[in-house]
Amino acid sequence: MKQITLAASLALQIVAALAHGLGDHAAHNDALLLPVEIRAPTPKHFENIVSNDTFDLGCRPIAHPTDDGQYTLHALLSRDQIAYLESTESSEIVVRENTHLSKRQSSGAPIGTGDRFSSGSSAPLGLGTKPSGSTIASILNYNEISTAVTGLVNAYPGAFFRYNLPYTTFQGATQFAAYTGAGSNVNNYRLYLSAGVHARERGGPDNLIYWVSDLLQANKTGSGLTYGKKTYTNAQVKSILSAGIVLFPLVNPDGVKYDQSSGSRWRKNRNTKSGSSGASIGVDINRNFDFLWNFKKYFSSSTSPASTSPSSEAFYGTAPASEPETKNHVSIYDKFPKIRWFLDIHSAAGTILYSWGDDVNQSTNPSMNFLNATYDGKRGVTSDTTYKEYIPAADLTAIKKVADATVASMKAVGGRSYVSQQAVGLYATSGATDDYAFSRYWAKPGANKVYGYTMEFGYSTNFYPTLTEFNQNILDTNAGFMDWALTAISVGLD
């Protein structure tokens, strides 16, 4: 524990010095954080590093197996943090800068300028309805995410609907959601997808918007869709639309707007109530949901599923659902009470994650569950037998089937490697969108059962893809969305 405390102290001193001497923007300049690979013989070697909530470990820490039997953990660290790890960790742990990733991200896909949709006068069109080899020239800018959705409303009257969500963000943005495929009756909608929770994970909103635009265009023209080596029929398109799709394409507008203007790899929202400068600004929306939010109470003290420090990238906020973005996300379940399947779009790890994320799954002891206070303070240690999170066997079979089909589809597009796994992986999380979705059935009387997933497209910590990678991400995710939805339909919508 002494090692963790020293590392935390050092990292906080770095953040404070940068924020004081360089200002808010410069404290998060790309040049200050380097993509690194931390290499070790086993995942257990990473425990101290992962427990230090001042280190930026991407969307979530994942130990990747290597061809030679080792493991790598990806992170974004300052040179001082790298030096600290090199001086304090065992010789079995090797920290090295990922120079290949640094070069790729320095030439990331451009952010669009102006408004390619002319305030909604024209609609987006994805890659699935375009000739093979077609590309999209730039990432949607903050305003275009909204005008693209308005363009779909205007292009498909009576078939695509947009509405404003009830809470405005800390910086005063009005958030919106949309729905399509099953008419105006909100009880007919079963599929819910969101994107843009973490601001720096560029391309998430684009992936979702272009997919829905492809579905609508293919439905209108009677055609199918093609994503790389994956093809889909018009009948499959119609099947997905008839299941009813709800989309929340920009969960974190304040953060996205700031990240696009600063190039700072900004993750959180822009709430300044817990800190007004540098890294202390903002809450991690994906640790703010009401699922075991108070991790100090619910989890073993040896784990760090989130952080109480405003300077951490995983800062959990001041209360469960303290953030308007979180409240708006939850409000969608209330408006569409029959939602059965949920997918949250993130980068970058190359995985499809399914519940639970707080501990390893088990289907034999129903009393060992997240609502049982007997196990408070015992959750989150994945290597022990003290606590395992209960999931009914039928539910586990269902969610794994959909996750595996999604991964197979994404692999088939162009040969990229993707993995299906339980969300907890090697390290626990709390307050995440996918676990919240699944937990509602047990925690909220009368709530529908929702199977929750997180899609992590792309490569670890590659938050700013090149233009080629950006277009490949669209193909991969859009095929993944197709098979996620088709398999979910086959498993059941009610």
Residue 270 shares a structural domain with residue 298: yes
Distance CA 290, CA 333 (A): 14
pLDDT digits (tens, 9 = 90+) for 146-181: 999 999 999 999 999 999 999 999 999 999 999 999
Tokens 């037998």 map to which residue? 385
Are the CB atoms for 36 and 105 separated by under 8 Å?
Answer: no
Using CB atoms within 10 Å of the CB of residue 56, give its burial: 0 to 12 exposed, 13 to 18 middle, 19+ buried. Answer: buried
- Tokens for 460? 């670890």
Position with higher pLDDT, 283 vs 42: 283
Residue 157 shares a structural domain with residue 305: yes
Residue 314 shares a structural domain with residue 335: yes
Residue 377 shares a structural domain with residue 472: yes
Position with higher pLDDT, 383 vs 376: 376
Given a cut of 60, whether residue 130 has pLDDT beyond it is yes
Position with higher pLDDT, 194 vs 77: 194
Poorest-pLDDT segment among 178-187, 317-326, 417-426: 417-426
Q: Whole-number mean pLDDT of the chain? A: 90
Average pLDDT over residues 463-488: 96
Band of pLDDT at residue 102, cut at 50, 70 and 90 = low
Band of pLDDT at residue 15, cut at 50, 70 and 90 = very low
The pLDDT value recorded for residue 418 is 92
Distance CA 136, CA 149 (A): 17
SS (H, E, C) the chain: CHHHHHHHHHHHHHHHHHHHHHHHHHCCCHHHCEEEEEEECCHHHHHHHHHCCCCECCCCCCEEECCCCCEEEEEEECHHHHHHHHHHCCCCCEEEECHHHHHHHHCCCCECCCCCCHHHCCCCCCHHHCCCCCCCCCECCHHHHHHHHHHHHHHCCCCEEEEEEEEECCCCCEEEEEEECCCCCHHHCCEEEEECCCCCCCCHHHHHHHHHHHHHHHHHHCCCEEECCEEECHHHHHHHHHCCEEEECCCCHHHHHHHHHHCCCCCCCCCCCCCCCHHHCCCCHHHCCCCCCCHHHHECCCCCCCECCCCCCCECCCCCCCCHHHHHHHHHHHHCCCCCEEEEEEECCCEEEECCCCCCEECCCCCCCCCCHHHCCCECCCCCCCCCEECCHHHHHHHHHHHHHHHHHHHHHHCCCCEEEECCCCCCCCCCHHHHHHHHHHHCCCCCCCEEEEEEECCCCCCCCCHHHHHHHHHHHHHHHHHHHHHHHHHCCC
Position with higher pLDDT, 464 vs 97: 464
Domain boundary residue, one of 56, 78, 106: 106
Band of pLDDT at residue 65, cut at 50, 70 and 90 = confident
Domain boundary residue, one of 81, 106, 131: 106
Band of pLDDT at residue 64, cut at 50, 70 and 90 = confident
Band of pLDDT at residue 22, cut at 50, 70 and 90 = very low
Poorest-pLDDT segment among 53-57, 193-197, 410-414, 422-426: 53-57
The pLDDT value recorded for residue 77 is 86
Domain boundary residue, one of 70, 91, 106: 106
Given a cut of 90, whether residue 72 has pLDDT beyond it is no
Poorest-pLDDT segment among 210-219, 226-235, 275-284, 417-426: 417-426
pTM: 0.91
Residue 83 shares a structural domain with residue 132: no
Residue type, 35: P
Distance CA 383, CA 430 (A): 17
Residue 152 shares a structural domain with residue 93: no
The pLDDT value recorded for residue 266 is 95
Band of pLDDT at residue 1, cut at 50, 70 and 90 = very low
Distance CA 218, CA 183 (A): 17
Residue 65 shares a structural domain with residue 134: no
Given a cut of 60, whether residue 27 has pLDDT beyond it is no
Using CB atoms within 10 Å of the CB of residue 153, give its burial: 0 to 12 exposed, 13 to 18 middle, 19+ buried. Answer: middle
- Tokens for 466? 């090149």
Q: Residue 228 — left, alpha, or beta (φ > 0 → left; ψ -120 to 50 → alpha)?
A: left
Residue 349: count other Cβ atoms within 10 Å of its Cβ: 26
- Tokens for 99? 């120079």
The count of structural domains within the chain is 2
Residue 171 shares a structural domain with residue 35: no
Residue 133 shares a structural domain with residue 98: no
CATH number, domain of 99, equals 3.30.70
Band of pLDDT at residue 18, cut at 50, 70 and 90 = very low
Residues taking part in catalysis: 456
- The range of the structural domain enclosing residue 39 comes to 2-106
Q: What is the share, in percent, of the chain residues with pLDDT greater than 70?
A: 91
Position with higher pLDDT, 216 vs 44: 216
The pLDDT value recorded for residue 8 is 41
Given a cut of 90, whether residue 385 has pLDDT beyond it is yes
Are β-strands 94-97 and 160-168 bridged in parallel, bridged antiparallel, or unpaired?
Answer: unpaired
Q: Which of 248, 264, 314 is nearest to 31 (CA)?
A: 264
Residue 147 shares a structural domain with residue 71: no
Residue 81 shares a structural domain with residue 181: no
Are the CB atoms for 350 and 415 separated by under 8 Å?
Answer: no
CATH number, domain of 163, equals 3.40.630.10
Q: Which of 208, 249, 181, 127 is nearest to 489 (CA)?
A: 181
Position with higher pLDDT, 58 vs 479: 479
Residue 153 shares a structural domain with residue 209: yes
pLDDT digits (tens, 9 = 90+) for 433-445: 999 999 999 999 9
